[in-house]
Structure 1
């Protein structure tokens, strides 16, 4: 007779201090990790219950995969995917790496919500080339009010120069003594725009992929900004 022993590791912290912790109503054995205190099963019937599935879904969300594409590939229901998207975005905290920056580039990209042109949304965001991080962003129409909301988020930082294109809303809000205008000053953020369109199909210029809810739309971009700044989720 051959006896096979299986080592059960925690799927969350990958620890080996795992003990049995009762039986579920389905009759499956439940385990408890002594290291992180989380409970789990060795195998789950539903894909949405697997810890590995959540990590895969989050990686696909920042790699230009649509909600329904993720559902087809992973087997996780799209409502569960949207729930993970919003929950993870709410947990993301952005902190500038520095308190002073030599220059910050500001630009805008447009997109739609609910496939309607009257629901066109503009994303204004500030990018620091010296640290390769997105410092702040603001959603709205293409007016000085949206730019002003973005500028309020940057007032606590010491910024020597703001670099933008010649859109009039920038000159109405930004301090003129710190404002440099011209495409020559925004070449770094133009590259970021290309990267964002590659990572999120919602802001591709010609696309049929739109969010039905603004909250899902905004959180998808927030997740990509966080991933770009910190390279983790």
Structure 2
């Protein structure tokens, strides 16, 4: 009895394929002939799970959904070093300013200006976490649009004025006219008094955002046994969450940098 198996590209699901040699173990390789497809070659069976199509995307998705490195390695049946390497490779693709919020430029064509979004009022806050041990504090400084509660920009560092200045510099092109913060001294020292309002009344949205981040990422939970050993990994995982959920970016796309 003969039977036929239809083989399609795991990336674009196109059946326009050609044979492309075989692996060292004698497994047949296939190449997608679709011009727009980014897949080079693929096999129907891999001896190592990490090579299967979609595995690295699962690594990223699990990382931003409260899974630790060892959790991910156990579930996907891959090495924990592969999990770490996959996340580190995403560092260059991250951005710290929301691309949806741009400065309104009258010199641009009308159709371009209509697509731009400007922010008039912003809420700012800092969120505590740690790396390695609780004495090594790592704060997430971020700002959200007061109207939509969408993250505008973020930075990581100590709870120092110099880190807040980095966040302020990222927000400068947005021409924000009003800032709402708590009574932490860095805000009062570096924001113009006429543009700055202190109090809990207008910072409820960013406080709600902080709770959302703690629910997504165990690294931000106050009492947790899931923490990063490297500041780089800590920043990447939280950055991936913000880039996907808040900025609406495709975090699985290959970096051009």
Which whole-Å deviations, capped at 9, do the CAs of 1:176-199 have from their partners, x for residues lacking one?
111111111111111110111111
Which whole-Å deviations, capped at 9, do the CAs of 1:119-151 have from their partners, x for residues lacking one?
111111111243443222122221221111110
1:108 aligns with 2:150: no
| CA drift at 1:70 | 0.5
Higher helix share: 1
**1:136-215 correspondence runs (5 A):** 136-215=153-232
Q: What is the total number of aligned residue pairs between the two structures? A: 231
1:130 aligns with 2:133: no
| CA drift at 1:96 | 2.7
| CA drift at 1:7 | 1.3
Corresponding residue number in structure 1 for 2:62: 60
| CA drift at 1:217 | 0.9
1:97 aligns with 2:97: no
Which whole-Å deviations, capped at 9, do the CAs of 1:85-121 have from their partners, x for residues lacking one?
1212322345431323121111111111112x32111
**Change in CA separation of 1:31 and 1:14 when aligned onto 2, cut-off 3 Å:** same
Corresponding residue number in structure 2 for 1:21: 20
Corresponding residue number in structure 2 for 1:223: 240
SS of structure 1 residue aligned to 2:135: helix
Relative to the length of structure 1, the TM-score reads: 0.93
SS of structure 1 residue aligned to 2:46: coil
Whole-Å separation in 2 of the counterparts to 1:118 and 1:63: 25
Whole-Å separation in 2 of the counterparts to 1:175 and 1:156: 16
Whole-Å separation in 1 of the counterparts to 2:64 and 2:91: 12
**Change in CA separation of 1:131 and 1:21 when aligned onto 2, cut-off 3 Å:** farther
Whole-Å separation in 2 of the counterparts to 1:196 and 1:131: 16
Whole-Å separation in 1 of the counterparts to 2:188 and 2:14: 56
**Superposition RMSD in Å:** 1.6
Whole-Å separation in 2 of the counterparts to 1:11 and 1:146: 44
Whole-Å separation in 1 of the counterparts to 2:213 and 2:98: 20
